[in-house]
Amino acid sequence: MEIRVVYADITQIPANAIIVNLFEGVTSLGGATRVVDGALGGTITQLIADGEIKGKLNEITLIHTQGRIAPARVVVMGLGKEADLTADRLRDVSAEALKFLHRKGAKQVATIVHGAGAGGIDTTVAAQSVVEGALLGLYVFRQHMTKEPDFEDIQELSVVEQDEAKRAAVEEGCNRGRIMAEATNLARNLVNEPANALTPTILAERAKALAEAWNLEYAVLDREQMSELGMGALLGVAQGSHQPPKLMTLTYRGGGSTSLGLVGKGITFDSGGISLKPAQGMGEMKGDMAGGAAVIATMRAIAELKPKINVTAIVPATENLPGGAALKPADVLRAMNGKTIEVESTDAEGRMILADALCYARKLELSPLVDVATLTGACAIALGPFCTGAFGNNQELVDKLIQAGNRAGEYIWQMPMYQEFKDLNKSDVADIKNTGGREGGAITAAQFLAEFVEDTPWVHLDIAGTSFSDKERTYRPKGAVGVAVRTLVNLAIDMAEK
Domains and CATH numbers, the chain: 2-161 (3.40.220.10), 183-495 (3.40.630.10)
Q: What is the dihedral of CA 253, 256, 259, 264, to 10 degrees?
A: -50
Answer yes or no: 54 catalytic.
Answer: no
Cβ proximity of 401 and 494 under 8 Å: no
pLDDT at res. 119: 86
Question: Which residue positions in the chain have pLDDT lower than 70?
Answer: 498
Q: Give, in order, the Cα–Cα distances in Å from 196 to each of 140, 200, 231, 283.
A: 20, 10, 25, 12
Helix residue ranges, H only, 286-413: 290-305, 350-363, 377-383, 395-408
Q: Single out the catalytic residue among 351, 362, 422, 433.
A: 351
Cβ proximity of 336 and 230 under 8 Å: yes
Backbone torsions φ then ψ of 211, nearest 5 degrees: -60, -40
Cβ proximity of 291 and 379 under 8 Å: no
pLDDT at res. 498: 65
For residues 57 and 21, give the distance between their C-alpha atoms in angstroms, rounded to a whole number.
10
For residues 87 and 399, give the distance between their C-alpha atoms in angstroms, rounded to a whole number.
20
The vertex-60 CA angle with 387 and 385, nearest 5°, equals 10
pLDDT at res. 475: 98
Q: Which phi-psi region, left, alpha or beta, contains residue 189 (left: φ > 0; alpha: ψ -120 to 50)? A: alpha
What is the H or E stretch that residue 3 is in? strand 2-6
Q: Single out the catalytic residue among 277, 334, 339, 473.
A: 277
For residues 186 and 300, give the distance between their C-alpha atoms in angstroms, rounded to a whole number.
9
pLDDT at res. 179: 98
For residues 253 and 297, give the distance between their C-alpha atoms in angstroms, rounded to a whole number.
16
Cβ proximity of 269 and 282 under 8 Å: no
Q: Give the gyration radius of the chain's Cα atoms.
A: 24
Answer yes or no: 56 catalytic.
Answer: no
